[in-house]
């Protein structure tokens, strides 16, 4: 079966870049990305490529090449479903905020809505692809909804989790370590798998396209994120020990990373991992383990989250204790709000919790981030519901310029590892600060020797 028409439901951080690359690499396939969020679709269609709703290096070029040729963004979901022979579901699957599994389980209501809409609209056979990250065995729920329409349409369900990381999405999509496709072991299931393999084979070498059963594919996605997050929590745990013992966490990372069994990637100590997925997916994993009665398995993975929360908390505690145990009325400048560099995404960013803790101590926080807009920062804080919206706007200010942001402040805290922070005129920053002037480098990116020579008092994660 040759795929000619793809629909993707969900034009977010995954659906947008992923399908833009599919369209770029498969000019003979029409790709339509749909979303209920009309503003988001309008932004994807904006003539000005700087206004795309997702900032990713290189994404503008991909969109420029394919948009209007075989890549389309639309709010007409029914039409796109009707025309497609393959439908990707790439909607959000956040942690549940209500009812059973609150704070742990994945909220699958958006997934179910998509399945129901597909069931209602479809008149011809379709392959439905889970692109969103889902609890293991979700495909059986989707199948149940799709197969009970009584309209004679046949559906095949595949799992094709996405492994891209934000900030490097385009590179990750063009050159993936692997593409994972899970499907039914039946003949029809294998044909559906092959149809999707053929799409990716347009640019991904065959040996990197891995096919499995549906459950292995669904669970592999949660497992991959759990392992990655666990590495960060492990090195962050060691960073605290380094600070006490006089070891240097960068040297420890390097030393262990040279062991080929351990590997050097994902061993950078930080103020804590953020992002929309690590925490959500591990909580989901913990919940799934608990529902199977596997409490030891659940406890094991939960520690990764506990460690991460501790790391964020201890960073803000360190700021308070270093500033003579009070930050009340003091201006503290945040460099960075995004959860990592090269993205405008702030979901679960460590900056949010660190800011919230400092605002609780009545600090005045001033933020500069090269890509995150002011409204986003306030929305992140308001969402916590710790204080009134007016109070958040009074205590936290946002600047478009790092020098302006740091003027008259008592301390600078680096929350995101944006490259530009390394090359600032730190003498100028120092001159305009209260003394003693402190720097808290939560990302270990600054040249501390240089800063000390200027006169700064410095703290770096993982260094005594
Ligand atoms: P997102 O919130 O950026 O985008 C989801 C989009 O789906 C939103 O624009 C929303 O309006 C739309 N949507 C929701 N319900 C809809 C419906 N019924 N019909 C049409 N549109 C609907 O989310 P995201 O970051 O793209 O993540 C999507 C999924 O991919 C999640 O399951 C996530 O875990 C997974 N994932 C994310 C990343 C990442 O880096 N962000 C990486 C790999 C996997
Ligand atoms: C992560 C995974 O890397 C992707 O494979 C996965 O597809 C994605 O989650 C997802 O499912 O959403 P992402 O969250 O975009 O991607 O970014 P990462 O590069 O993994 O960084 C996550 C967080 O960990 C960031 O806050 C980052 O600063 C932090 N981190 C990462 C560290 O603190 N140290 C490291 O060594 C690596």
Question: What are the residue boundaries of the structural domains of the chain, listed by start?
Answer: 5-204, 215-464
Facing residues of 126 across strands? 155
pLDDT for 150 beyond 90: no
CA separation for the pair 213, 53 (Å, rounded):
34
Smallest CA-to-CA distance from 416 within 195, 178, 58, 166 is with 166
Q: How many CB atoms lie within 10 A of CB 163?
A: 17
User: Could you identify the residue written with the tokens 């922070």?
Assistant: 421
Composition of the chain by helix, strand, coil, percent to 5: 45, 15, 40
Mark out the alpha helices in 246-276 (DSSP H runs): 249-257
Q: Does the fold of domain 215-464 match that of domain 5-204?
A: yes
On the 0-12 / 13-18 / 19+ scale of CB atoms within 10 A, 246 is exposed
Residue nearest to atom 30 of ligand 1 (CA): 132
40 with 329: CB under 8 angstroms? Answer: no
Q: Nearest 5 degrees, angle CA 189-CA 193-CA 194?
A: 115
Per the document, the length of the chain is 464
Mean pLDDT, the chain, integer: 97
CB-side exposure of 177: number of CA atoms within 13 Å?
7
Residue 93 CA: which ligand 1 atom is closest? 32
pLDDT at 190: 97
Residue nearest to atom 14 of ligand 2 (CA): 275
The dihedral sign for the CA sequence 363, 280, 308, 14: negative
| CATH code of the region 5-204 | 3.40.50.720
Mutational test site, ligand 2, from 224, 277, 336, max ligand atoms within 8 Å of CB: 277
User: Is 189 near ligand 1, meaning CB less than 6 Å away?
Assistant: no
CATH architecture of 215-464: 3-Layer(aba) Sandwich (3.40)
Following CA atoms 331, 242, 260, 416 in sequence, which dihedral angle do they give, to the nearest 10 degrees?
0
pTM of the model: 0.96
The dihedral sign for the CA sequence 314, 316, 318, 320: negative
If you measure from the C-alpha of residue 110 to the centroid of ligand 1, how many angstroms do you get, rounded to a whole number?
9
Region of 455 please: left (phi>0), alpha (psi -120 to 50) or beta: left
pLDDT for 148 beyond 90: no
Largest CA distance in the chain: 75
On the 0-12 / 13-18 / 19+ scale of CB atoms within 10 A, 455 is middle
User: Could you identify the residue written with the tokens 């400048």?
Assistant: 333
If you measure from the C-alpha of residue 462 to the centroid of ligand 2, how many angstroms do you get, rounded to a whole number?
19
CA separation for the pair 209, 176 (Å, rounded):
9
Q: Nearest 5 degrees, angle CA 140-CA 141-CA 144?
A: 85
Q: Tokens in use for 217?
A: 């594919």
User: Could you identify the residue written with the tokens 């609150």?
Assistant: 102
How far, in Å, are 125, 186, 269, 456 from residue 189 at the CA level? 13, 5, 43, 63
Residue nearest to atom 16 of ligand 2 (CA): 165
Return the percentage of the chain with pLDDT > 70, whole number: 100
pLDDT at 151: 82
Task: Write the CB contacts of 321 (distance below 8 Å, at least 6 apart in sequence).
Answer: none
Give catalytic status of residue 26 as yes or no: no
Q: Mean pLDDT throughout 399-422?
A: 98
**DSSP 8-state secondary structure symbol assigned to residue 223:** H
Smallest CA-to-CA distance from 229 within 300, 290, 318 is with 300
Q: Mean pLDDT throughout 184-201?
A: 97
pLDDT for 5 beyond 90: yes
pLDDT at 149: 80
DSSP letters along 10-59, please? --STTHHHHHHHHHHH-TTSEEEEE-S-HHHHHHHT-SSGGG-SS--TTH
CA separation for the pair 460, 402 (Å, rounded):
20
Instruction: Write out the H or E segment, with its range, that includes residue 8.
Output: strand 5-9
Question: What pLDDT digit, counting tens, does each position of 361-385 carry?
Answer: 999 999 999 999 999 999 999 999 9
Q: Mean pLDDT throughout 338-365?
A: 97
pLDDT for 1 beyond 90: no
If you measure from the C-alpha of residue 11 to the centroid of ligand 1, how many angstroms do you get, rounded to a whole number?
7
């Amino acid at each position: 079966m040759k795929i000619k028409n793809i629909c993707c439901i969900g034009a977010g951080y995954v659906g947008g870049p992923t399908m833009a690359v599919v369209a770029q690499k498969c000019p003979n396939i029409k790709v339509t990305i749909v979303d209920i969020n009309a503003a988001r679709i309008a932004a994807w269609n904006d003539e000005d490529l700087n206004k795309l709703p997702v900032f990713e290096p290189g994404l503008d070029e991909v969109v420029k090449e394919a948009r209007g040729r075989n890549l389309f963004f639309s709010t007409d979901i029914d039409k796109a479903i009707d025309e497609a022979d393959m439908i990707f579901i790439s909607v959000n699957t956040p942690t549940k905020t209500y009812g059973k599994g609150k704070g742990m389980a994945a909220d699958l209501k958006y997934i179910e809505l998509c399945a129901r809409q597909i069931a209602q609209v479809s008149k011809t056979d379709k392959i439905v692809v889970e692109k969103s990250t889902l609890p293991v065995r979700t495909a059986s729920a989707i199948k149940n909804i799709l197969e009970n329409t009584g309209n004679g349409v046949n559906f095949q369900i595949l799992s094709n989790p996405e492994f891209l990381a934000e900030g490097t999405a385009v590179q990750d999509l063009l050159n993936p370590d692997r593409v994972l496709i899970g499907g039914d072991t039946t003949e029809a299931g294998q044909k559906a798998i092959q149809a999707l393999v053929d799409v990716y084979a347009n640019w991904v070498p065959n040996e990197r396209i891995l096919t499995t059963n549906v459950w292995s594919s669904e669970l592999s996605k949660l497992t991959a994120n759990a392992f990655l997050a666990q590495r960060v929590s492990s090195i962050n745990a060691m960073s605290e020990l380094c600070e006490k013992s006089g070891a240097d966490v960068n040297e420890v990372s390097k030393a262990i990373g040279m062991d080929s069994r351990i590997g050097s990637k994902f061993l950078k100590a930080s103020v804590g991992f953020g992002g929309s997925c690590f925490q959500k997916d591990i909580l989901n994993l913990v919940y799934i383990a608990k529902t199977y009665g596997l409490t030891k398995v659940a406890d094991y993975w939960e520690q990764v989250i506990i460690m991460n929360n501790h790391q964020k908390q201890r960073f803000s505690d360190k700021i308070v204790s270093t500033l003579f145990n009070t930050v009340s009325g003091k201006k503290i400048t945040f460099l960075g709000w995004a959860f990592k560099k090269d993205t405008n995404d702030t979901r679960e960013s460590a900056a949010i919790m660190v800011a919230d803790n400092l605002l609780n101590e009545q600090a005045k926080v001033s933020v500069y981030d090269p890509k995150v807009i002011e409204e986003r920062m306030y929305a992140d804080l308001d969402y916590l519901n710790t204080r009134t919206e007016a109070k958040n706007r009074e205590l936290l200010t946002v600047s478009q310029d790092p020098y302006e942001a740091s003027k008259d402040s008592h301390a600078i805290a680096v929350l995101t590892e944006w490259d530009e922070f390394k090359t600032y005129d730190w003498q100028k920053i120092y001159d305009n600060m209260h003394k003693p002037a402190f720097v808290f480098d939560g990302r270990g990116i600054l040249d501390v020797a240089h800063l000390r020579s200027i006169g700064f008092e410095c703290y770096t994660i993982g260094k005594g």
